[in-house]
Amino acid sequence: MVDPFTAGAIAAMVPMLSELATDIFKDSAKEGGKSILGWGGKKISEGVQQQIKDASRQYVKTYQERHGILKVLGMSKPVSLDSVYTAVCLLDRQGLQQFKSIADLESAFRQAREQRLRQRGQPSPKQQGIAVANAEQYLMVLGAPGAGKSTFLRKMGLEALKGRQRTFQHRCIPVFIELKRLSGEIDLAQEIIKEFETCGFPDAKGFTSKALEQGRLLILLDGLDEVPTESLNKAIQAIQDFVDRHSKNRYIASCRVAAYRSNFRRFSDVAIAEFDDEQIRQYISNWFQSSDDLANNTAAKCWETLQQPENAAAKELAHTPLLLTFLCLVYDRAQNFPRNRSVLYGKALRILLEEWAAFNRLANQRRIYEGLSVELEEILLAEIAARGFAKDQLFFSQSDLVRRIKTFLASNLNAPKHLDGEAVLNAIAVQQGILVERAEDAYSFSHLTLQEYLTAQFIANNPQFIKRLVDRSLTDERWREVFLLTAGLMKGSKGADPLLLGMEQQAQTYLNTPKLKALVRWAEDATAGPEGNYKPAVKRAAAIYLAHDLARVLDLVHDHDLARDLAHNLTHNLALTHNLALTLDLALTLDLAREFNRALDHARARAREFEEKIFRSVNFTELVADLEALELNTPDDNQPYEILQAFADRISEIWFKALGLEPEVAVLSYEEATALSNYLYANELMVRCQEAAVRVSPQVWAGIEARMLTIK
């Protein structure tokens, strides 16, 4: 992170503001009569010019200190707003209205395969925020909590101050007003006067009047949604009246989408777009700019870590600037993301529940739903998330959510009884952004990750649901993240043991035919013996992988690829090394690649490695001799397909014979291949859950690992 502002940067901004302020005074003096300084038509004195220059310097410095830096979430040092790039896209209200039902939204989401809502057809084109601000005189910027609305307004003010280097095309003095700080009657003119008066502008009242009259101000109205509810209607009317009276000026206002119910007459509505990959990468790059970070290439390493499959859900959080800031802080401290993802997502949820609310207190310093503690709210959200996820429901109507909130409050003795369901929902959606309104009367969790985490939390807090989770959802990949998060959240005396034992028991039910049992029994017998470099489960997984590889080469069945890949993954996860995974990669050279000499060399090399690492009683000396003898009859590339295929088959047959495995055992029906895939997937997920867990009994896991890929 770099110094957010320097004396040089401030000095560069002063001439523009001083010149503009002087012009306002001069224009007033030219009008004749008594000017704002009482000069009539006289020339402005050098003393007054110096006063204007000094006030301009103070104004720039004050704006930089108040609005030119980003420092949230316990950051040790501030970071310049220039390090945060926020794209603005037009809010296509007509596009949102095309979703006539929640089912319609569900369908659109599943087609997009991501939680960030996409419209049908072409998505709304993104426009650079500065371009929109240049084009629109009256702009209402909408967005979810943490989306960067305030940051965008502050950045526009900084751009307006930059003089000749500015990207903001209009010659204006920016005035930033936090609406949440105002109480009682809103008098925008008086607020502007205070800004100039504090910095020492001469005759601040007269100066403000002339600046407004001449249209020389960029008025930034931040946080319409944070005006107390009882004052909101009056505030909207006061702002409307002010804009009508001073229509020559430029205005940018901000509000959370869920709180925006009234269109301002003159304003164009736009929405802050979520960060895309390029913006995430740029933000990370700008974040890690210290000399040590540059020397260690920290930004690139952070980005690469975020791209890893196990961090996919963390990357989803990164599309929200607030949570991307949090992720950068996490990486900055540990140079990695937590192995236990439940810790990461739990902290992200708490940011939305607590820390973000702390930075955005309402003017009356009280929560809308006073009495509903963070802990109680988290239980409520977990129940909503879990019951929705169990029904494969990602979107909720307002009436559905209100009903669930009321039921929860009524069924909990310690829940406040005075709370109104509608008010609670509005507070959660408006103040925190955990539930967001995607379209009219259609809510969802702001991130799928948060719904998965809350679902896991519900299960971990209600262990009676563990068996139902395992029985119904073990091989449903939609529930994969929930399993991993649940394992990380089970911290009681038994830790994740009940979950892992239940998964093991359910996995055995997938070995439901004699052929599947024969294949697993062969793998167990063929690899029995001293562990050597690898545990028995690793060797059994490797043997099953090889059997599938050989069956694939023989082209005896077309449904092996998934099971083969799962066996490969399981072998790698258990061995925790890439070496064995590479050793098992036999099919690449046994495929009909028309390079049989290389294929045979590769097969011989693999035979020697398998002899050392995997199998107990295979005669690999004889296997190598048979492969070398076969080399004498290697066909050339011009032979008919049938001859080439027969030669490839002969290679795999030699392997089957050496391994003591009948080819028919490896040939599975579609149903058997599916069942074996489920079995291997369940075992692989068990390994992942053990890694994700905070607490697992060594004895329990040792027993599970010893029984893995065996017939009980």
Q: Over the stretch 334-347, which tens digit does the pLDDT of each residue have? A: 888 887 788 888 88
The region, left, alpha or beta by phi > 0 then psi within -120 to 50, assigned to residue 219 is: beta
Range of the domain at 168: 66-84+125-272
Helix, strand, or coil (residue 606): helix
pLDDT tier at 74 (50, 70, 90 boundaries)?
low
Buried b (16+ CB within 10 A) or exposed e, 540-563: bbbbbbbbbbbbbbbebbebbebb
Whether 131 is in a domain gets the answer: yes
pLDDT of 689 > 90? The answer is: yes
* C-alpha–C-alpha distance, residues 547 and 533, integer Å: 21
pLDDT tier at 521 (50, 70, 90 boundaries)?
very high
709 or 600: which leads in pLDDT: 709
pLDDT of 702 > 50? The answer is: yes
* Nearest Cα residue to 266 out of 294, 246, 286: 246
Whether 699 is in a domain gets the answer: yes
Residues 656 and 536 in one domain: yes
Q: Which residues contact 699 (CB under 8 A, 6 or more apart)?
A: none
Please tell me the predicted confidence (pLDDT) of residue 7: 60
Which of these ranges, 74-78, 89-93, 285-289, 653-657, has the smallest mean pLDDT? 89-93
Asked if 568 and 584 count as a contact pair (C-beta separation under 8 A), the reply is yes
Whether 455 is in a domain gets the answer: no
pLDDT single digits (tens) 575-588? 533 343 334 444 43
Residues 224 and 331 in one domain: no
Residues 291 and 227 in one domain: no
Whether 524 is in a domain gets the answer: yes
Please tell me the predicted confidence (pLDDT) of residue 507: 95
Percentage of the chain beyond pLDDT 90 is: 27
Q: Which residues contact 330 (CB under 8 A, 6 or more apart)?
A: 337, 338, 344, 347
Residues 286 and 349 in one domain: yes
Mean pLDDT within 495-500 = 96
Whether 104 is in a domain gets the answer: no
pLDDT single digits (tens) 529-574? 766 667 788 888 878 877 877 776 555 444 445 555 655 555 555 5
Residues 516 and 650 in one domain: yes
Which of these ranges, 190-199, 430-439, 667-676, has the smallest mean pLDDT? 430-439
Mean pLDDT within 428-457 = 81
Please tell me the predicted confidence (pLDDT) of residue 78: 67
Task: Name the residue type at position 26.
Answer: K
Residues 298 and 208 in one domain: no
Whether 294 is in a domain gets the answer: yes
Residues 322 and 237 in one domain: no
Helix (H) or strand (E) holding 682: helix 670-692
Which of these ranges, 98-112, 123-137, 328-342, 407-421, has the smallest mean pLDDT? 98-112
Listing DSSP states for 323-357 in one string gives HHHHHHHHHHHHSS--SSHHHHHHHHHHIIIIIHH
Please tell me the predicted confidence (pLDDT) of residue 582: 36
Please tell me the predicted confidence (pLDDT) of residue 453: 93
Residues 246 and 166 in one domain: yes
Asked if 574 and 687 count as a contact pair (C-beta separation under 8 A), the reply is yes
pLDDT tier at 263 (50, 70, 90 boundaries)?
low
pLDDT single digits (tens) 241-251? 999 999 999 99
704 or 423: which leads in pLDDT: 704
* C-alpha–C-alpha distance, residues 568 and 239, integer Å: 64
Query: CA distances (Å), 546 to each of 334, 537, 610, in order?
Result: 39, 14, 10
pTM comes to 0.72
* Nearest Cα residue to 61 out of 1, 2, 8: 8
* C-alpha–C-alpha distance, residues 325 and 297, integer Å: 18
Asked if 470 and 502 count as a contact pair (C-beta separation under 8 A), the reply is yes
Residues 697 and 551 in one domain: yes
Residue that terminates a domain, selected from 359, 374, 396: 359
Domains held by the chain: number: 3
pLDDT of 52 > 70? The answer is: yes
Residues 219 and 285 in one domain: no
Mean pLDDT within 174-185 = 83
Asked if 180 and 231 count as a contact pair (C-beta separation under 8 A), the reply is no
pLDDT tier at 30 (50, 70, 90 boundaries)?
low
Residue that terminates a domain, selected from 272, 298, 314: 272
Helix, strand, or coil (residue 637): coil
Residues 513 and 639 in one domain: yes
Query: CA distances (Å), 133 to each of 90, 179, 259, 708, in order?
Result: 12, 20, 22, 61
CATH number of domain containing 74:
3.40.50.300
Residues 250 and 229 in one domain: yes
Q: Enter the tokens of residue 484.
A: 């991993």
pLDDT tier at 11 (50, 70, 90 boundaries)?
confident
Residue that terminates a domain, selected from 359, 382, 402: 359
